[in-house]
């Protein structure tokens, strides 16, 4: 519609950011340009809106309390009793306003995470209630997203949960302007009527968000139901017809992509696919641009390590191998075995972050002959720490917020695969999230073993960003995470290169 939109995710947990949270429980930690470690929903916002967000776009209870308590200690509230209302709620509103100003946004979408009725969500709901009062009806809109379960025995859509959550919202002073009903199937007219009646909204303000082939279709199905008109009306904006052409093209291409290619996804959080959400999305974007439908074969690295599955068997018929990012010891030998297999059998390989570091370990061990080579993250006493903490990081002993984070410029080396991948660009920006680095002391030995450096940090050229193998169909390791910058209409070059190599 041509409006300038930004989005905020509110996470009512007490962690200051998502950096220290377990990907098993919370899914991937998304990294922003400015190095924020955020909720994965920021990734969705960036992909859907095709914009870059900042760490300020993810607000947590931890951040709010931290700053209020710091202010209290500095004496900024001298003489006052510091309370949830107004001090915490003021802080929340200020954060929202600050983001709006920073982006010069016409519209700020604020998603309050969790479920209505959660104790920890209350201050945030109270803050947005106050915001409507302050900004006025026409400057605010409440959209309630609620689940409509289907009783599997009868197939009936149950609206009771929505009825109750709306009641709960109204009890604290929020009347939704629209309700988005999340349900497996399209809302039946009966269910819609009920939701409108009990939810106290007109029927045309009840939107059905049902299962579709790809999440990227959601804006289209909501638009079919007239959402943009209603939102414009509510916010007192001129109605502008949304320009959805290129988005529609993408979905059409996505659905038409028929060449199936199997990619082995080797990692240790494979049971919760959300742990690798941006990578999965990046593969869809890259696949679509090549008419390829990636079929992901999840391989638990520990299963290879324990001998539960054999690497030759699981990788025999795949078209490519990705060794996923990660931390710590578990599954490491399994990942190294997968890298060895891909290298020796000329299978396209992409190592992301930890996956790249372990590729260096594998080559150091099996090609350069440094038998006990390792990353000092896993084996602090290895005689050959080919991956290690560099000097300036040695002094760091806390685990929260001590990584190399966010977008940094990378200098692409000439005549490399990296140069091809990035289409001849000389400097590129990718986002980082790691502590360990390729050890510069081993560069010569590694280069002799066939590794070529594809890119180095522009500011600190001793830091290796990309590695590749000379005599291989496609063997690429990336220290930063290219998946965070991939968009449906602008696939990440590294994923594009990898997927093209599967052909």
Q: Which residues are catalytic?
A: 353, 481, 483
3-state secondary structure labels for all residues of 105-171: CCEEEEEECCCCCCHHHHHHHHHHHHHHHHHCHHHCCCEEEEECCEECCCCEECCHHHHHHHHHHHH
Binding to ligand GLN (CB under 6 A) within 176-235 occurs at none
Q: Three-state DSSP class for 369?
A: coil
Alpha carbon dihedral 23, 317, 361, 413, in 10-degree steps, equals -90
Give the count of residues interacting with ligand GLN (CB under 6 A).
11
Binding part of the chain for ligand GLN, among 112-120, 304-312, 324-332, 445-453 by CB under 6 A, reads 324-332
Q: Is residue 501 a contact partner of residue 473, using CB atoms and an 8 Å limit?
A: yes
CA 411 to CA 420: how far, in whole Å?
13
Give the residue, chosen from 105, 327, 379, 411, that forms a contact with ligand GLN under the rule CB under 6 A: 327
Q: Which residues have CB under 8 Å from 174's CB, separation 6+?
A: 125, 128, 129, 132, 142
Task: Give the end-to-end CA distance of the chain in Å, rounded to a whole number.
Answer: 38
> CB of residue 64 vs ligand GLN: minimum separation in angstroms?
27
- CA distances 62 to 33, 89, 109, 121, 147, Å, are 21, 13, 21, 12, 27
Binding part of the chain for ligand GLN, among 60-68, 197-205, 319-327, 339-347 by CB under 6 A, reads 319-327
Q: Which of 275, 282, 318 is nearest to 297 (CA)?
A: 318
> CB of residue 215 vs ligand GLN: minimum separation in angstroms?
24
Would you say 95 or 365 has its CB closer to ligand GLN? 365
Give the residue, chosen from 12, 325, 480, 497, that forms a contact with ligand GLN under the rule CB under 6 A: 325
> CB of residue 436 vs ligand GLN: minimum separation in angstroms?
3
> CB of residue 432 vs ligand GLN: minimum separation in angstroms?
8
> CB of residue 500 vs ligand GLN: minimum separation in angstroms?
24
Give the residue, chosen from 287, 326, 493, 497, that forms a contact with ligand GLN under the rule CB under 6 A: 326
CA 272 to CA 258: how far, in whole Å?
26
Q: What is the DSSP letter of 501?
A: H
> CB of residue 263 vs ligand GLN: minimum separation in angstroms?
18
Would you say 129 or 435 has its CB closer to ligand GLN? 435
Which residue has tokens 């450096």?
453
Return the ∠ at Cα 58 (arms to 220 and 145), rounded to 5°.
40
CA 392 to CA 404: how far, in whole Å?
11
x/- map, 341-370, ligand GLN, by CB under 6 A: ------------xx--x-------------
Give the full edge-to-edge strand order of the sheet including 107-112. 58-60, 5-11, 107-112
Give the residue, chosen from 281, 303, 319, 377, that forms a contact with ligand GLN under the rule CB under 6 A: 377
Would you say 73 or 381 has its CB closer to ligand GLN? 381
Q: Which residues have CB under 8 Å from 224's CB, separation 6+?
A: none
Would you say 472 or 481 has its CB closer to ligand GLN? 481
x/- map, 417-456, ligand GLN, by CB under 6 A: ----------------xxxx--------------------
x/- map, 256-275, ligand GLN, by CB under 6 A: --------------------
Binding to ligand GLN (CB under 6 A) within 279-308 occurs at none
CA 283 to CA 499: how far, in whole Å?
8
Residue 30 makes contact with ligand GLN by CB under 6 A: no
> CB of residue 435 vs ligand GLN: minimum separation in angstroms?
4
Q: Which residues are near ligand GLN by CB under 6 A?
A: 325-327, 353-354, 357, 377, 433-436
């Amino acid at each position: 519609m041509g409006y300038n939109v930004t989005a905020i995710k509110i996470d009512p947990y007490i962690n200051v950011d998502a950096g220290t949270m377990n990907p098993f429980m919370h899914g991937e930690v998304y990294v922003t340009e400015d190095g924020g470690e955020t909720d994965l929903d920021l990734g969705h916002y960036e992909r859907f809106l095709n914009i870059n967000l900042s760490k300020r776009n993810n607000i947590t209870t931890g951040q709010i309390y931290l700053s209020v308590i710091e202010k209290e200690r500095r004496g900024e509230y001298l003489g006052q009793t510091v309370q949830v209302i107004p001090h915490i709620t003021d802080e929340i509103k200020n954060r929202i306003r600050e983001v709006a100003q920073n982006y010069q946004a016409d519209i700020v979408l604020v998603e309050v995470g969790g479920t209505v009725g959660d104790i920890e969500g209350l201050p945030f709901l109270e803050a947005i209630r106050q915001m409507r009062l302050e900004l006025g009806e026409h400057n605010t809109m409440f959209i309630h997203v609620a689940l409509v379960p289907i009783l599997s025995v009868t197939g009936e859509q149950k609206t009771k949960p929505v009825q109750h959550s709306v009641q709960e919202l109204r009890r604290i002073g929020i009347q939704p302007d629209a309700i988005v009903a999340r349900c497996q199937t399209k809302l039946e007219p009966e269910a819609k009527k009920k939701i409108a009646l009990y939810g106290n909204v007109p029927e045309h303000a009840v939107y059905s968000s049902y299962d579709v082939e790809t999440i990227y279709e959601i804006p289209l199905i909501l638009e079919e139901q007239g959402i943009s008109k209603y939102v414009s009306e509510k916010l007192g904006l001129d109605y502008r017809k949304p320009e959805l052409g290129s988005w529609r093209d993408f979905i059409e291409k996505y659905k038409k992509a028929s060449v199936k290619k199997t990619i082995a996804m080797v990692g240790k959080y494979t049971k919760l696919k959300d742990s690798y959400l941006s990578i999965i999305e990046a593969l869809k974007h890259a696949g679509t641009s090549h008419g390829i439908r990636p079929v992901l074969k999840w391989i638990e690295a520990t299963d290879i390590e324990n001998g539960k599955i054999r690497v030759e068997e699981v990788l025999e018929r795949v078209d490519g191998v990705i060794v996923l990012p990660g931390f710590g010891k578990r599954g490491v030998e399994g990942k190294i075995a997968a890298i060895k297999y891909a290298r020796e059998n000329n299978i396209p390989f992409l190592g992301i972050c930890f996956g790249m570091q372990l590729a260096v370990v594998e080559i150091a061990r099996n090609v350069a002959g440094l038998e006990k080579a390792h990353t000092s993250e896993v084996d602090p006493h290895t005689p050959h720490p080919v991956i290690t903490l560099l000097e300036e990081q040695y002094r760091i002993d806390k685990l929260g917020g001590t990584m190399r984070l966010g977008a940094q410029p990378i200098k692409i080396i000439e005549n490399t695969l990296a140069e091809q991948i990035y289409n001849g660009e000389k400097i590129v920006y990718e986002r980082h999230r790691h502590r360990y680095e390729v050890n510069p002391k081993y560069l010569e030995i590694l280069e002799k073993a066939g590794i070529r450096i594809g890119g180095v940090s522009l500011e600190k050229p001793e830091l290796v960003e990309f590695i590749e193998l000379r005599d291989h169909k496609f063997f690429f390791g990336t220290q930063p995470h290219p998946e965070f910058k991939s968009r449906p209409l602008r696939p990440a070059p590294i994923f594009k290169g990898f997927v093209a190599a599967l052909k």
